[in-house]
A and B are shown apart, each in its own frame.
Chain A
Amino acid sequence: MAAAVDEPLLDVEDLRVSFDTIDGPVQAVRGVTFQVGRGRSLGIVGESGSGKSVSTQAILGLLSGAHVSGAARFEGRDLLQMKDSELRKVRGAGIAVVFQDPLTSLHPLHRVGWQIVEVIRAHTDMNKKAARARAVELLDWVGIPSPRERADHYPYQFSGGMRQRVMIAMALALNPRILIADEPTTALDVTVQAQILALIKRIQREFDTALVMITHDLGVITEVTEDVMVMYAGQPVEYASNRTLHYEPHHPYTAGLIECLPRGTSATVSLKPIPGTPPSLLNVPAGCAFHPRCSFAMDLCRTQAPPLRKVAGGAGHQSACWLPTDLVGVGQEASDRRAAAARTPMPVDDGGAER
């Protein structure tokens, strides 16, 4: 990865998650590996059902009834092997989560101050009064006006953006080493989104908290994280620094996502949606999972799943695509080069290419 660090704070290796359903096992996550260093930030991008939220929830043991394998080492200890009582000490204190919908993620029948005090007292022996003072301080820090009075209000008395600030205050209560923000702005108005993103960046700056931000919106990641992992059908398809990903993507799926973003001021540039829909995780296509939607799919793509390989975009840039590793970029010109490469089958510089 672009963010080479001495010892990663969070080291996830070959994480796999499946659920049993009436229709058979659903493979929601099919081998995810990533690291997050101290104070670093990683964005995880993908469409709904790509396994991005499931990955982080599996790490914290928040999924009931899921089969989870692999490893997720936090400060050297594998979270997946921990007893529930040990894991409970990490949740909220070492790793805190901000969820997507602040309306449904706060308990509707408890005062917001109570909910913040609760997390503090679950992990420390602070008395009620001190915890309450800390809760008010946190509400103030995240930008809630008259925090002393507001601590006694219920979630329904707050607007969406204010509720998300409460969620963030709760997540910050114990100075976690990692903050996982799971689509923190998706349920909010655009103007409010910007405020919440600014707040998240400020947390990173002031507390040196590592950030994992999950989103389906590449545009949101642009402003916040240093590195990005793109996921498709339960697998990572591309890792890159934020800048590389935006200007020199290798994977056609990533390039497609970027071309979906409304850019510039020209009204004449039409958006190019990716055709088709993500595959069912009950029945993932053979070969590259993206090949049915890929305009550059070759015969090889239909039979062989491409491994993650180093590609040309810069340090740590990896992509799981059979196209030549130097084929990076977005736009018509890059697309033409991809198409040309796809028409002329060539020896692939990977030993595993031949069956």
Chain B
Amino acid sequence: MGDIVRFLARRLIFSIVVLWFVATIVFFMYFVAPNDVARTLAGRQASAATVAAIRHNLGLDRPLLVQYWSFLGRAAHGNLGFSYLNSRSVLSLVGQRAGVTVSLVVGGAVIWLVIGVGAGMLGATRPRSVIDRATTGIALLFYSMPTFLLGEFLLLVLFFRLHLIGVDWFPGAGYVPLATDPLQWALHLVLPWLTIALITAATYARLTRSSMLDVMGEDYIRTARAKGISRPRILFRHVLRSAITPVVTQFGIDVGTMLGGVVVTENVFGLPGMGQLIVSSITRQDLPTIIGLVLLASAFVIVANIIVDIVYVFLDPRVRLN
């Protein structure tokens, strides 16, 4: 257990350094950007004095390094800044939308794991068979398909076509919180889930297949066969047990990245999540929100990596946390 504490302490320090780095870059980008918040807030008609007053109020007339220092201070306290355009703190904006993105990612992750690992296993157990070629082909198709295309396609078929013949199983857009109505929550998310799952599952199918085929060539699998172990047991307890490690790594990275916002899918399906917030803040030049979201996304990726490293210890007894 002492190992884990030491490991976490070390990783925490490292993470803070990385986040500080990211924060510094986005902060200075803020000043390079040709945008004057005070002028925007003041409106077109405002006098130079009004603009100056607003600028002073926001603290934007202070020297750059002073602003940088106070920005870091706030960020260190978990204050991601204030969105002048929304008149709300970035954190509360995120809080409003995090539930949508988490619902989307968690549900999608379950589906893509099942489909991806399942298809990969199917291909690996019968290499070069019709099933293997079919799963590999389908995986390649989804792997190379742009997300918006698949999303629009699902909408066209499962929403619009069904709607035309009077079947309204899947809503075309919008979000209902889980706490409000679990069934509607799920129905609204089925198409987005499928969109991210099918595209992501393709990676998992290829990864699982190649990883399992590698393991099947190992001497210890020959040992298992020489022991007279049944085929399914060899597959699950011996082959998959070893082959799952790279899948776990990929899974951690994917989930961590997506929690920061699933930009395309959320926009295609009108889901008010973090991805949509990213797009709207960029189009409205809402820099504090952009900075906050970037920091948050980085933090998710860092945390996901730490979790993956800890899970590794349980997956492989040879791995030590140092």
User: Is B315 engaged at the interface, CB distance under 8 Å to the other chain?
Assistant: yes
Name the contact of A62 in the complex, choosing from B220, B225, B237, B317 (C-beta under 8 A): B225
Query: B318 — which chain A residues lie within 8 A by C-beta?
Result: 108, 154, 156
Q: Are B220 and A97 within 8 A (Cβ)?
A: no
A88 to B238, CA, bound (A): 16
A-B contacts besides A62-B226, A110-B241, 13 pairs, CB < 8 Å: A62-B222, A62-B225, A90-B228, A91-B228, A93-B228, A99-B223, A99-B226, A105-B220, A106-B220, A107-B241, A109-B316, A156-B318, A170-B227
Which residues of chain B in 218-269 are interfacial with respect to chain A, using CB atoms and an 8 Å cutoff? 218-220, 222-231, 233, 237-238, 241-242
A119 to B237, CA, bound (A): 13
Interface core residue of A57, A93, A108 (most chain B CB under 10 Å): A108
Q: Are A109 and B315 within 8 A (Cβ)?
A: yes
Provide a sorted-by-A list of 24 A–B residue pairs whose CB atoms are within 8 angstroms: A57-B222, A88-B230, A90-B228, A91-B225, A92-B226, A96-B227, A99-B222, A99-B223, A99-B226, A104-B219, A104-B220, A107-B223, A107-B224, A107-B238, A108-B242, A109-B317, A110-B237, A110-B241, A118-B229, A122-B227, A123-B228, A154-B318, A156-B318, A170-B227
A57 to B222, CA, bound (A): 10
Query: A88 — which chain B residues lie within 8 A by C-beta?
Result: 228-230
Given A108-B242, A109-B242, check contact A122 B229 (CB 8 Å): yes
Interface core residue of B219, B223, B230, B241 (most chain A CB under 10 Å): B223
The count of chain A contact residues (Cβ–Cβ below 8 Å) is 29
Interface core residue of A60, A89, A92 (most chain B CB under 10 Å): A92
B253 to chain A minimum Cβ distance, whole angstroms, is 22
A134 to B237, CA, bound (A): 21
User: Is A101 engaged at the interface, CB distance under 8 Å to the other chain?
Assistant: yes
Query: B224 — which chain A residues lie within 8 A by C-beta?
Result: 107
Interface core residue of B219, B228, B242 (most chain A CB under 10 Å): B228
A333 to chain B minimum Cβ distance, whole angstroms, is 45
Query: A62 — which chain B residues lie within 8 A by C-beta?
Result: 222, 225-226
Q: Are A91 and B220 within 8 A (Cβ)?
A: no
B241 to chain A minimum Cβ distance, whole angstroms, is 6
B230 to chain A minimum Cβ distance, whole angstroms, is 7
Q: Are B222 and A119 within 8 A (Cβ)?
A: no
A57 to B226, CA, bound (A): 9
A55 to chain B minimum Cβ distance, whole angstroms, is 14
A159 to chain B minimum Cβ distance, whole angstroms, is 15
A156 to B233, CA, bound (A): 23
Chain A, residue nearest B242 (CB): A109
Chain A, residue nearest B217 (CB): A64
Instruction: Flag B34-63 by CB within 8 Å of A: 1 or 0 each.
Output: 000000000000000000000000000000
Instruction: Report the 4 A-B pairs with minimum CB-CB distance, sorted nearest first.
Output: A92-B228, A91-B228, A104-B219, A92-B227
A170 to B229, CA, bound (A): 13
Chain B, residue nearest A93 (CB): B228
Q: Are B222 and A156 within 8 A (Cβ)?
A: no
Q: Are B226 and A96 within 8 A (Cβ)?
A: yes
A93 to B229, CA, bound (A): 11
Given A109-B241, A109-B317, A156-B318, check contact A91 B219 (CB 8 Å): no
Name the contact of A105 in the complex, choosing from B223, B230, B241, B316 (C-beta under 8 A): B223
A274 to chain B minimum Cβ distance, whole angstroms, is 29
Instruction: Flag B290-322 by CB within 8 Å of A: 1 or 0 each.
Output: 000000000000000000000000011110000
A104 to B237, CA, bound (A): 17
A123 to B227, CA, bound (A): 9
Query: A84 — which chain B residues lie within 8 A by C-beta?
Result: 231
Query: A118 — which chain B residues lie within 8 A by C-beta?
Result: 227, 229, 237
A277 to B17, CA, bound (A): 59
A90 to B218, CA, bound (A): 22
Query: A91 — which chain B residues lie within 8 A by C-beta?
Result: 225-228
Chain B, residue nearest A96 (CB): B226
A84 to B316, CA, bound (A): 32
A89 to chain B minimum Cβ distance, whole angstroms, is 6
Query: A106 — which chain B residues lie within 8 A by C-beta?
Result: 220, 223
B108 to chain A minimum Cβ distance, whole angstroms, is 29
A122 to B227, CA, bound (A): 8
A67 to B161, CA, bound (A): 54
A89 to B315, CA, bound (A): 31
Name the contact of A122 in the complex, choosing from B223, B230, B242 (C-beta under 8 A): B230
A17 to B225, CA, bound (A): 19
A167 to B317, CA, bound (A): 19
Q: Are B228 and A105 within 8 A (Cβ)?
A: no
A98 to chain B minimum Cβ distance, whole angstroms, is 9
A80 to chain B minimum Cβ distance, whole angstroms, is 16
Chain B, residue nearest A119 (CB): B227
A280 to B238, CA, bound (A): 34
A91 to B224, CA, bound (A): 10
A44 to chain B minimum Cβ distance, whole angstroms, is 17
A88 to B228, CA, bound (A): 4
A101 to B238, CA, bound (A): 18
